[in-house]
């Protein structure tokens, strides 16, 4: 796979995911974790909104990574390969943090969709970066 195509794919997916996280972060969390039942207390509302703000910040970081990848699609081959391998390593660390939340007892289940998305992006990065 050509490096510029890999950077466009990675940049597009990261930017799109970041936008979805920012458009409606509460619904994004509900789709991943499930909706809280019943009327929320003031404290639960504050914590839900705080989580939504953190989701927006994480989404903004994904948008930034996406823009970096897209804007650097015309790098020379060796530099593009280094960028792709770096992105792949970063995605592995991100997946480790996501899975680590389960083992550290922050959540009751491993959230599979981001692990699948970032596994595919990691494979694209390493394939294009090492070939």
The domain ranges of the chain are 3-130
pLDDT band, very low/low/confident/very high, at 67 (cuts 50, 70, 90): very high
Span 21-43, pLDDT tens digits: 999 888 887 777 777 677 878 88
Contact by Cβ (8 Å): 14, 63: yes
pLDDT band, very low/low/confident/very high, at 61 (cuts 50, 70, 90): very high
Other C-beta atoms lying within 10 Å of the C-beta of residue 29 = 18
The structure tokens listed for 106 are 């922050």
- Please indicate whether residue 106 or residue 19 has the higher confidence score (pLDDT): 19
Average pLDDT, the chain: 91
């Amino acid at each position: 796979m050509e490096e510029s195509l890999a950077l466009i794919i990675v940049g597009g997916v990261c930017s799109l995911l970041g936008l979805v996280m920012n458009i409606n972060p509460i619904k994004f969390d509900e789709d991943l974790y499930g909706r809280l039942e019943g009327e929320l207390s003031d404290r639960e509302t504050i914590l839900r909104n705080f989580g939504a703000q953190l989701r927006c910040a994480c989404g903004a970081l994904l948008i930034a990574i996406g823009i970096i990848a897209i804007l650097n699609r015309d790098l020379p081959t060796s530099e593009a390969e280094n960028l792709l391998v770096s992105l792949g390593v970063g995605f592995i660390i991100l997946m480790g943090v996501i899975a680590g939340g389960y083992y550290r007892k922050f959540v009751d289940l491993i959230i599979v969709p981001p692990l699948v998305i970032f596994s595919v992006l990691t494979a694209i990065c390493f394939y294009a970066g090492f070939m």
